[in-house]
Amino acid sequence: MVFEKVAETQDITPGQMKVINFGAEQVLLANINGTFYAVGNICTHEGGNLSTGTLQGNIVTCPKHKAQFDITTGKAVNPPKVLFMHPKINNATTYAVKIVGTVIMLEHK
């Protein structure tokens, strides 16, 4: 398991999100009540940028068609709203997070 430093804990206060580049991936880091989680930043529907969406509790809402993901599990909890269709979408990729002192580290897959 190879972990890499991606941010400092003080960079993301509780209730905030931050996008980082991690290898070839964009990863969304979020601080949920002092615990840090990481999921793929690109929406699994049509590529919306989740970091520009909204975070309420542990649910991030995509700005494009309002699909919702649980940031603690990556699970797609609500489908996109496209006209009257609600297509099924894949869950977000999750990344293992390790905190060492004030350093946030992510595990390379």
Q: Which residues bind ligand FES (CB under 6 A)?
A: 43, 45-48, 62, 64-65, 67, 80
Closest CA to 103 of 11, 22, 33, 1: 11
Nearer to ligand FES, 6 or 42 (CB): 42
Nearer to ligand FES, 41 or 94 (CB): 41
The β-bridge relationship of strands 94-95 and 97-100 is unpaired
In angstroms, the Cα distances linking 4 to 40, 86, 108 are 16, 37, 7
Q: Minimum distance from CB of 88 to ligand FES (Å)? A: 12
Least distance CB 74 / ligand FES (angstroms) = 14
